């Protein structure tokens, strides 16, 4: 039965409040409607404003997902049970034969991987080992010998291990036996009383009596006095001598060094190259804690499944997580311009000219007849207030405002008072580094062969924006080099004054700004009154100029 696939609902990189809150709300809606596993994710750090919102309504931040390429966890990993290093070769062979396995993983009590043994290793143990002391060298447990020979322990401690001596068959008469039996040996013999007596007297550690023969009381008492183990087996001496090496623990033959393992989080693209260079057929997988999880082979990669993704609050590859072109895109819910994203097949695409994606999610809850909980209402309302700048943005519609007010009633908040509190929390940027401020809300855009970036910070006070500007201006050149693009812009938006100071850096950036807004700027910035929206005012104006060029 195929494992249930997770569908990841994720917003754009450098997520804002709408991106995060819409992902959480839409994932919950999809779970309610379908009963399937839809999970919200985030594509970057949670900013101060969003952190405030999540804490206010008691919602945990989504897990981070920075790359949606196929990982080992997306493969049907074969859950081969790990075994103890003490099990016998015979039992290992039985497990491999039953499970049609080529490789068996060996683990300790905490499920850490100790080594691997293959069918080839077991074959070599039969064909290449001629050492009569190998059972002792392998520190073989007596319980393995009893199990392998289907024997009965007449006397001795099955938990002990063979520590010394060789293994031999007592086929000669007692006089000759005295010349080659040494202390600590394992002696395989028949029902001859004289041979049993001689082996015990010569200090054998264990005698193995074949053919299911009875062991006399005298021999048993003598063995007890001498500390000699007695094992009785139904097999004849030839078969017993042939099988006893199968009792050796697999630890003696397993591969311990330079094991090639992969983690559940590793990307298939990366491990494919490594697997191609190795001659092994199977490779062990470890989980996030480094404990053994299962096995994969090269053939397993053929069944690797792409991650299932729903995009919210964006539809352009430049704003998406890495690897989006390799994912299985199912849906897009957005309120921005339609970019250049391509899909392998048809997808559900809902794009409306509204001020916020959360407004669309609110509509979808109502259309599906799903009751909106207080916490989800709080998240959606916060997203609308944030994206519309408390209804001041030109992107804001009556639909957005009506949705926010309806959601506020469910959440039990006053939009005006709450918005001031929310923006104050998000504007506390004095202690942040230029990098943290810059990437709090930064997006890339592509027009023809030109790629440029636009970031934005909003504040209720002009004084704070002046402080932020002093940090950002020297940082802009570094950001330009980091992204290897021609132009970067940054909006310092004063919510109360409904104005934006647009910073710029890069060849042609000042000229583009001046042409787009028909104003003159200085070396660092240009002041734009009644302009607060990146989506509806900044980007369209710049694109018109770039397209004309």
The alpha-helical segments, DSSP class H, found in 390-502 are 398-411, 415-426, 434-438, 462-483
Q: How much is the average pLDDT of 205-232?
A: 95
| Neighbour tally for 6: CB within 10 Å | 15
In a domain, 290, yes or no: no
In a domain, 300, yes or no: no
pLDDT of residue 263 exceeding 60: yes
pLDDT of residue 426 exceeding 80: no
Name which residue leads in pLDDT, 458 or 373: 373
Q: How much is the average pLDDT of 387-394?
A: 90
Tokens of 408: 């506020």
pLDDT of residue 249 exceeding 60: yes
pTM of this prediction exceeds 0.85: no
According to the model, what pLDDT value does residue 172 have?
A: 67
Which of 406, 426, 446 is where one domain is finished? 426
pLDDT of residue 98 exceeding 60: yes
Q: What percent of the chain is predicted at pLDDT more than 90?
A: 71
How far apart CA 499 and CA 526 sit, in angstroms, is 11
93 and 201 both lie in a single domain:
yes
In a domain, 161, yes or no: yes
352 and 467 both lie in a single domain:
no
How far apart CA 413 and CA 409 sit, in angstroms, is 6
177 and 243 both lie in a single domain:
yes
According to the model, what pLDDT value does residue 359 have?
A: 98
- CATH number at 184 reads 3.40.1390.20
230 and 120 both lie in a single domain:
yes
394 and 455 both lie in a single domain:
no
Summarised one tens digit per residue, pLDDT across range 144-196 is 999 999 999 999 999 999 999 999 998 767 767 777 888 999 999 998 898 99
Name which residue leads in pLDDT, 500 or 340: 500
> What helix, strand, coil percent values describe the chain, rounded to 5?
40, 20, 35
122 and 235 both lie in a single domain:
yes
User: For tokens 């994932």, what's the residue?
Assistant: 27
According to the model, what pLDDT value does residue 483 have?
A: 87
Q: In what order do the strands lie in the sheet with 487-494?
A: 442-447, 450-459, 487-494, 499-505, 525-529
In a domain, 259, yes or no: no
How far apart CA 236 and CA 295 sit, in angstroms, is 39
- CATH number at 509 reads 3.10.310.20
128 and 168 both lie in a single domain:
yes
In a domain, 289, yes or no: no
The whole-angstrom distance between residue 383's C-alpha and the CA centroid of its chain comes to 29
According to the model, what pLDDT value does residue 518 have?
A: 94
Summarised one tens digit per residue, pLDDT across range 441-451 is 899 998 888 89
Summarised one tens digit per residue, pLDDT across range 104-156 is 999 999 999 999 999 988 888 877 667 889 999 999 999 999 999 999 999 99
According to the model, what pLDDT value does residue 298 have?
A: 85
Which of 236, 252, 268 is where one domain is finished? 252
Read off the pLDDT band of 1 (50, 70, 90).
very low
- CATH number at 60 reads 3.90.1640.10
User: For tokens 């036996």, what's the residue?
Assistant: 177
According to the model, what pLDDT value does residue 3 have?
A: 58
How far apart CA 329 and CA 308 sit, in angstroms, is 6
Give me the chain's average pLDDT, please: 91
pLDDT of residue 219 exceeding 70: yes
348 and 454 both lie in a single domain:
no
**Residues, the chain, total?**
549
204 and 323 both lie in a single domain:
no
418 and 476 both lie in a single domain:
no
Read off the pLDDT band of 425 (50, 70, 90).
confident
pLDDT of residue 2 exceeding 60: no
How far apart CA 67 and CA 244 sit, in angstroms, is 53
> How many structural domains does the chain have?
3
Contact 413, 382 (CB under 8 A): no
Helix (H, G, I), strand (E, B) or coil at 249: strand
How far apart CA 383 and CA 379 sit, in angstroms, is 6
The DSSP line for 352-386 is -SSS-HHHHHHHHHHHHTPPPPHHHHHHHHHHHHH
In a domain, 506, yes or no: yes
Contact 51, 43 (CB under 8 A): no
In a domain, 287, yes or no: no
Helix axes 357-368, 374-387, angle to 10 degrees: 150
How many CA atoms, within 13 angstroms, populate the side-chain half-sphere of residue 525? 18
Which of 426, 455, 487 is where one domain is finished? 426
Provide the 8-state DSSP code for 3: P
How far apart CA 229 and CA 496 sit, in angstroms, is 93
Tokens of 16: 């804002």
Q: Which domain holds residue 143?
A: 89-252
176 and 247 both lie in a single domain:
yes
188 and 246 both lie in a single domain:
yes
Provide the 8-state DSSP code for 299: G
Cβ partners under 8 Å of residue 234, min gap 6:
150, 151, 211, 212
Q: Distances from the Cα of 180 to the Cαs of 176, 184, 185, 198, 298, in angstroms?
A: 7, 12, 10, 11, 52
pLDDT of residue 308 exceeding 90: yes
Tokens of 57: 């309504």
In a domain, 190, yes or no: yes
Summarised one tens digit per residue, pLDDT across range 48-72 is 899 999 999 999 999 999 999 999 9
Tokens of 194: 């004289």
pLDDT of residue 525 exceeding 80: yes
């Amino acid at each position: 039965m195929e494992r249930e696939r997770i569908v990841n609902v994720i917003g754009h990189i450098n997520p804002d409040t709408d991106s995060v809150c819409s992902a959480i709300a839409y994932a919950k809606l999809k779970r309610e409607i379908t009963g399937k596993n839809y999970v919200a994710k985030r594509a970057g750090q949670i900013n101060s404003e969003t952190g405030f919102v999540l804490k206010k309504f008691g919602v945990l931040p989504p897990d981070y997902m920075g790359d949606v390429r196929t990982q080992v966890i997306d493969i049907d990993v074969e859950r081969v049970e790990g075994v103890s290093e003490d099990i016998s070769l015979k039992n290992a062979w039985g497990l491999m034969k039953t499970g049609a396995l080529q490789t068996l993983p060996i683990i300790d009590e905490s499920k850490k991987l100790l080594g691997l043994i293959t069918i080839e290793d077991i074959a070599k143990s039969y064909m290449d080992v001629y050492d009569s002391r190998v059972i002792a060298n392998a520190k073989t447990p007596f319980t393995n010998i009893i199990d392998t020979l289907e024997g009965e322990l007449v006397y001795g401690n099955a938990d002990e291990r063979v520590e010394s001596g060789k293994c031999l068959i007592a086929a000669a008469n007692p006089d000759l036996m005295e010349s080659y039996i040494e202390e600590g040996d394992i002696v395989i013999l028949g029902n001859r009383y004289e041979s049993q007596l001689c082996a015990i007297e010569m200090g054998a550690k264990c005698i193995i009596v074949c053919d299911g023969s009875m062991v006399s009381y005298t021999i048993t008492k003598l063995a007890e006095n001498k500390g000699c183990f007695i094992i009785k087996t139904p097999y004849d001496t030839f078969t017993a001598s042939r099988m006893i090496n199968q009792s050796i623990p697999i630890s003696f033959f397993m591969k311990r060094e330079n094991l090639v393992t992969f983690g559940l989080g590793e990307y298939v693209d990366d491990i494919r190259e490594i697997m191609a260079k190795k001659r092994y057929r199977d490779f062990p997988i470890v989980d996030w804690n480094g404990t053994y999880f299962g096995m994969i082979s090269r053939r397993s990669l053929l069944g690797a499944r792409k991650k299932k993704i729903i995009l919210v609050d964006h539809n352009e590859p430049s704003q998406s997580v890495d690897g989006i072109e390799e994912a299985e895109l199912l849906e897009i819910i957005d309120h921005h311009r339609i970019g250049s994203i391509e899909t392998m097949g048809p997808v559900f695409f809902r794009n409306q000219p509204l001020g916020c994606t959360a407004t669309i999610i609110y509509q979808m809850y109502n259309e599906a007849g799903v009751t909106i909980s207080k916490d989800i209402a709080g998240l959606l309302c916060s997203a609308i207030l944030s994206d519309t700048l408390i209804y001041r943005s030109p992107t804001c519609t009556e639909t957005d405002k009506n949705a926010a007010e309806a959601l506020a009633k469910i959440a039990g908040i006053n939009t005006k008072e709450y918005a001031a509190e929310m923006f104050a929390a998000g504007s506390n940027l004095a202690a942040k580094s230029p990098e943290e401020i810059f990437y709090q809300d930064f997006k890339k855009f592509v027009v023809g062969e030109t790629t440029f970036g636009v970031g934005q910070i909003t504040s209720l006070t002009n004084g704070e924006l002046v402080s932020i500007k002093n940090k950002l201006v020297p940082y802009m050149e570094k950001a330009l080099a980091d992204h290897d693009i021609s132009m970067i812009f940054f909006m310092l938006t004063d919510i109360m004054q409904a104005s934006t100071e647009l910073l710029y850096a890069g060849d042609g950036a000042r000229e583009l700004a001046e042409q787009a807004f028909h104003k003159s700027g200085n070396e660092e910035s240009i002041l734009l009154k009644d302009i607060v929206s990146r989506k509806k005012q900044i980007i369209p104006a710049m694109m018109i100029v770039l397209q004309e060029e």
